[in-house]
Amino acid sequence: DIQMTQSPSTLSASVGDRVTITCRASQSVGTWLAWFQQKPGKAPNLLIYKASSLQSGVPSRFSGSGSGTEFTLTISSLQPDDFATYYCQQYNSYLLTFGPGTKVDVK
């Protein structure tokens, strides 16, 4: 199985901050990497796919980069609606895996 890790596990930030979350894979996944946002009691929402492609309807303050084993999700200017948990997920393999999540909370 491909194992995914994320750092940090929790990130405290303020509105307007630039936020970066890192996701690492135990082996190369190419660019087959997605990012999801999840709020309490809700299903995950797709933000980024193919490592850097913005899903339709997602604000442009979200961006993704990386390839191989290291990826980042960046929020250029954190908004009140962005306080949530973020998950990366690889889909390079038939066996799909999610990262453990990064919670972005209020500083």
The contact set with another protein (CB under 8 A) reads 1, 32, 34, 36, 38, 42-46, 49-50, 55, 87, 89, 91, 94-101
Nearer to another protein, 45 or 74 (CB): 45
Shortest separation between residue 16's beta carbon and another protein, angstroms: 28
Nearer to another protein, 43 or 81 (CB): 43
How many angstroms separate the CA atoms of 75 and 90, rounded?
20
Nearer to another protein, 50 or 107 (CB): 50
Q: Which residues of 9-31 are buried (b: 16+ CB within 10 A; e: fewer)?
A: eebebeeebebbbbbbbeeebeb
Closest to 100 in 3D by CA, of 15, 23, 43, 46 = 23
